[in-house]
Structure 1
Amino acid sequence: MKVMFFRNFLTTVRRFKLACGLNIVGLSVAFAAFILILMQVSYESGFDKGYPQQVYRVEAKDSVDHWAIFARPAIDVLLSGSPAIAQGTMRPCYLDEQYVSLERNGTKEAYIESYAPIYPGDFEVFGYELTEGTREAFDDHTKLLLPQSIARKFFGNESAVGRLITFENQTDEEGRKKTFEVGAVYRDFPANSSVPNCIKRKMAPGENEGQWGNQNYWCFVTLWPGSDPEEAARQMTQAYASFGKPDWVSGEQTFVLQPIDEVYYDTTVSFDMAPKGNRTTMTLLLSIALLVIGIAAVNFVNFATSLTPLRIKNINTRKVLGSPVGTLRAELIFESAG
């Protein structure tokens, strides 16, 4: 039966080449455009929504401005400013480019890669998935954390844990180049995530501690279940205002917790280097996708309707020759689906 349907379908295509060709090309282009647009809409709408729990970015406001970058001592105060905070972390708002080298198969290889110092709480806040190593590597400032993409780039299919990587442009107190051991490898975060897939390491003791003027860090937190973000932000504001800061550091500011998946669409924050999208553009793309499918459907109906007189003649002839009505209906459905 299916073979007969297909043979009749090919016969119809040969008889009405132009109409069938336009139908096939039109629907193919429409569906291709529809799928591509939906892929972009899915990317935009899913930005920073893949974490195991709700993550908030700490932001500050005063009477004239709204910002989200802080110095490390300020973040230390904020992370201890509310009992509602379950985990907290910080990372630089821009990535440092490091010239690194390693030994592989007896040969020294060098690369330029992005690098970021982080708090150990980064692991819990963003839900890292380790493919090699253990969680303890996030607590050791002498261990490096590599995304899987960089680990494969450096070491191929060999295990990366335990291998040594030298930072060619960093030296210790004795003038020797700093060398670190790889402590863990994590699965790369998706492209629609603001978490960078770069070399990371726990911030070294004393790194920018007390440096109130070095405002280069973002602060992210998660809250205990049932906690109120507004109440947590109010407690953080009180803790910051009462903390002993240098005289030139203003304490007259209010802190807010913004869901990280809203940061992508917020353009009101000053000096915000986070990736940005536009809800209006996303809605417009979705509307265009639906319009393309709608136009394709209308064209399909128009072409099918234009062939109605000829198809009726063909169907009547086949009914006179004894073709069952059910078979004719099935063939029409098969042609439309094809």
Structure 2
Amino acid sequence: MLSNYLKLSFRSLLKSPLFTALNVLGLALGLAVSLLLFLHIRQEMSFDKYHSKAERIHRVIINSFWDPASPDMLANAPNVVGPTMKETIPAVEQFARLMKHEFGESAFVTAGENKLVETKLFWADPGVFEIFDIQPVAGDLKSSLSQPNTVALNRSTAIRYFGTSNPVGQSIKIDRMPPMEVKAVFEDFPGNSSLNPNILGSFQSVKWANKQMVWSNSSFETWVLLNADADRK
């Protein structure tokens, strides 16, 4: 049976080579597009799923009613939201606020004789290491953001700034801020992570963000980790 199909296909190819070529090309193009769509959808659906606590991790989204006629949904929240949720909601086990340096502006970083421009600098609470699966490379990662003027670097950035030297215990200078001590190094985040910092700096280092605990400034990416037995609905 198969040999008959092959013979018929070969005869069709000889009789109408252009028509056959167009059919084969169309089939190949359709398969290629389908494969690309499948890979794209799989990549999108895999984002942040690698975290061991993924089902318990939630990003805080708020509704803004400055204009009651058309409320806005914001992916950032006021800096007071995270601490307040942990204090008042028993289901919240941990929180972490992340803020892009100068609201997304590049930072000028000096490390020894190296002067570099950094675009992926975030100021974060130490809870970020409890919520997300961030793999340590050197130093004490969990306590690295517990004090002001401290930072943790990803592996690529540590090599870019310090080469083969151990960066832990050394300092970097960020813009006009006080020197920041490198407390730890962590593995680079995978490509399917919505969080992808090169530098994580202690949230306590940004003085105004800690002093002005207000509900009117929604500039802070806020994540919470719910208890294992919490009702996520």
Task: Give runs of ≥4 in structure 1 deviating > 4 Å.
Answer: 25-34
Name the residue aligned to 2:79: 72
TM-score (norm 1): 0.53
**Contact 1:146-1:199 at 8 Å conserved across structures:** yes
| SS of equivalent residue, structure 1 residue 152 | helix
Name the residue aligned to 1:101: 110
Q: CA deviation at 1:127?
A: 1.7
Report the identity percentage: 23
Cα 1:37–1:69 change in 2 (3 A) is closer
Give the partner amino acid of 2:151: L
Q: Does 1:85 align with 2:88?
A: no
**Contact 2:122-2:197 at 8 Å conserved across structures:** no
| SS of equivalent residue, structure 1 residue 80 | helix
Matches of 1:62 and 1:163, distance apart in 2: 43
**Contact 1:163-1:182 at 8 Å conserved across structures:** yes
Give the partner amino acid of 1:97: S
Matches of 1:214 and 1:57, distance apart in 2: 17
Structure 1 unaligned residues grouped into runs of 5+: 1-11, 172-177, 231-338
Q: Does 1:41 align with 2:41?
A: yes
Name the residue aligned to 1:260: none
Cα 1:73–1:33 change in 2 (3 A) is closer
Q: CA deviation at 1:136?
A: 1.8
Q: 1:102-137: CA deviations, max 9, x gaps?
A: 12xxxx111110321111100111121111211221
Q: CA deviation at 1:32?
A: 4.8
Query: Pick from 214, 229, 234: which aligns with 2:232?
Result: 229
TM-score (norm 2): 0.74
Query: Pick from 116, 131, 134: which aligns with 1:128?
Result: 134
Structure 2 unaligned residues grouped into runs of 5+: 1-6, 15-19
Q: Does 1:165 align with 2:172?
A: yes
| SS of equivalent residue, structure 2 residue 179 | strand
**Contact 1:96-1:116 at 8 Å conserved across structures:** no
Task: Report which of the two structures shows the higher radius of gyration computed on alpha carbons.
Answer: 1
Query: Pick from 130, 137, 141: which aligns with 2:148?
Result: 141
Matches of 1:90 and 1:190, distance apart in 2: 21
Matches of 2:32 and 2:166, distance apart in 1: 41
What's the RMSD between the two structures over aligned residues? Answer: 3.1
Matches of 1:38 and 1:119, distance apart in 2: 37
Structure with greater helix percent = 1
Matches of 1:121 and 1:96, distance apart in 2: 24
| SS of equivalent residue, structure 2 residue 44 | helix
Aligned residues: 206
